[in-house]
Amino acid sequence: MGGGCSRRPCWAATLNGTSLGTVSSSDHIFRWTDVTLKPGQNTVTVTATINGSTHTDTVD
């Protein structure tokens, strides 16, 4: 996880407000492993800064 962030955008994720870490990818597929959802509603937020612009997406 994390390596390559100086060469391409890195994406940070949170699950219910807890950081899942930061990943980068050369194929535009981003994976966070060892993630356990709690029963009921969960909120995932993913954020990246690309060319100085911050992009965020959230799903419940």
Cβ-Cβ contacts under 8 Å for 3 (sequence gap 6 or more)? 24
- Residue 6, pLDDT score: 61
The contacts of residue 21 (CB under 8 Å, 6+ apart) are 1, 2, 12, 13, 32
Q: What pLDDT digit, counting tens, does each position of 3-17 carry?
A: 556 666 789 999 999
- Domains of the chain, by residue range, sit at 1-32
Q: What is the pTM of this model?
A: 0.80
Task: Assess whether pLDDT exceeds 90 at residue 40.
Answer: yes
State how far the Cα of 13 lies from the Cα of 23, in Å rounded to an integer.
Answer: 9
- Angle formed at CA 44 by CA 4 and CA 5, multiple of 5 degrees: 10
Q: What is the mean pLDDT of residues 13-34?
A: 93
